[in-house]
Structure 1
């Protein structure tokens, strides 16, 4: 069954947001090439909130998420992100149903 999370990050200021975006982009390169179980990993801006970023992450299953967390590029992201952030909130998601998630436990 699919496993996902949404993370809302608030950076210190717009300069920190730009540096955070760069760190996220560098991390994404490793995710794209080394993580077949990471199905979606997207960084979003929020209109009218220039210091907020929202990540949406979808994994094939909980084991794929755990493998993601162990990767060197992710460990670097987790270690370095704090310098840019004033807060963050994580919401874990278990899929019930969806579109485009066939084979992950959802329905088409």
Structure 2
């Protein structure tokens, strides 16, 4: 599998009020990502059934440079600063693609 840079981020939120604030922040940020980041291939936010204070982000970028460009965007910098008030914890797992299908991804021969 060639190319691609991904990560999974697990956000633990302080309480129901913090979850609502975090979700509002996400809702303000997502349109900016879609409008200004051609190298961001997937940016999906998941709620977890039965765990209302947990959010999981799945992010896939064309390459590491696209991720770095995402991190430097004003809307991302704002999100990273503002999110702290809502969190009780965060875990980040970086991913390296080794195989897959769909979209532009193809296994290399």
TM-score (norm 1): 0.93
In structure 2, what is the equivalent of residue 78 of structure 1? Answer: 80
Offset at residue 107 of structure 1 (A): 2.3
Gaps of 5+ in 2: none
In structure 2, what is the equivalent of residue 107 of structure 1? Answer: 107
Distance 1:100 1:87 in 2: 32
Contact 1:101 1:107 in 2 (8 A): no
Counterparts in 2 of 1:1-108, with a 5 A limit? 1-102=3-104, 104=105, 106-107=106-107
Query: Which stretch of the first structure deviates more once superposed, 17-26 or 74-83?
Result: 17-26
Q: Secondary structure at the match of 1:39?
A: strand
Query: What is the number of residues matched between the two proteins?
Result: 106
Residue by residue over 1:35-86, the C-alpha shift from the partner in whole angstroms, topping out at 9 and shown as x without a partner, is 0000000110001100000000000000000000000000000000000000
Q: Secondary structure at the match of 2:26?
A: helix
TM-score (norm 2): 0.93
Gaps of 5+ in 1: none
Query: Which stretch of the first structure deviates more once superposed, 50-59 or 23-32?
Result: 23-32
